[in-house]
Chains A and B, each alone.
Chain A
Amino acid sequence: MSPRSKTVVRRTLRAFALELVIYAALVTGYFFAVLHLLGGWLVQLETQHIRIYAVVAILLIIGQAVVLEAVTTGLLRLLRGGRSE
């Protein structure tokens, strides 16, 4: 591997590690907020209104995926100076 490639790989790995740390901090906060705020309501919904629960489950997982994708893409851009990959 050429010295230039080594520098690029090192820089990419450092950015990725930094991204993981920031992401982990964000996710921990989100995690407790969602589980504590939505947990009880979702259990109640699952036992009493199963069809509404099924729709809410799909919307939640898609909504979370869209938000997380935006967060990780934003972090990648921020840490790699405007490039997302």
Chain B
Amino acid sequence: MSMIEVENVTKRFGHILAVDRISFYIAKGEVIGFLGPNGAGKTTAMRILACFFPPTSGRASVGGHDVVTHALQVKQLVGYFPERVSVYPDLPVRSFLDFVAEAKDVPRAERKREIGRVIESCGLEAVSDRIIGHLSKGYRQRVGIAQALINRPQVLILDEPTIGLDPEQVVEIRKLIRDLGAERTVILSTHILSEVSSVCDRVIIINQGRILASESLAELRAQLHRTRVVRVEVEGPEPQVRGVLERLPGVETVRRPELRVRKPEDNGAVALVVEYTGDDIRKQVSRTVLEHGWGLLEVRSLEPTLEDMYLQLIRDEEQAPRIESLRD
């Protein structure tokens, strides 16, 4: 059974259509990356699942409970980290978490232990008695995550949890999310693509209120990039090198890379990008180059990055805006 089911959900604010008939399912224990440019509808979709507001139409449920008719049950299951880190700056960390535990119905006898557990898992021991407003941004972010973790929610909804942190803190928070994902269903929204590659099992890409793709990174890669790419650097005359590579079996195009930094040591070297289909071509490329007596400086397979895939999807969508989304 799916932990989260979203069917044909639409949300309008006046005549602004924030989310347009989206549907997706998330299994128990999955870590999902919610991707999209700013204003794509990520936050709206997450707020609907966190029972912040109901959808205009359509049906959404968490753990089998409808978000409109059984909001209280859904709220018991969900830990939510809002996009704006929202904490009370005037309260000490511990009394803030005490309030959260009481609001989330943690029994009085267990409250202290639960708060201790959350403080430990978010690395807040050193600051637990300090006023939240006096903490650094990274710590405040952790307090925000800590409040979401109180009462061991089965579903975590994190809206851009790493924004505004320094690189070291980003790594720490991602590690925390990975650990949490081991036993929970997590939805993580972000527009930082490397975050998704490092943390998530599956991505849901959303743009202009519609879902463009909802699959694992490997599937997405396979679907979008039929062709594979190798980057070659050869010391030899460019026209001949190009001609030889083009004649290799399976090669579709040979072109210059879009971006290349010229270095003094590579005088006479040619950098080329070979797009091909079929099995790995690197062995053939290197043999051919050496047979012609040219110097082989580099042969490297280029995996399409999430950035490439994402930009391609958004571009395709914008070129054909009226075509129904990939998965409906």
Does chain A bind chain B?
no
Q: Which residues of A contact B (CB under 8 A)?
A: none
Query: Which residues does B use to contact A, with CB under 8 Å?
Result: none
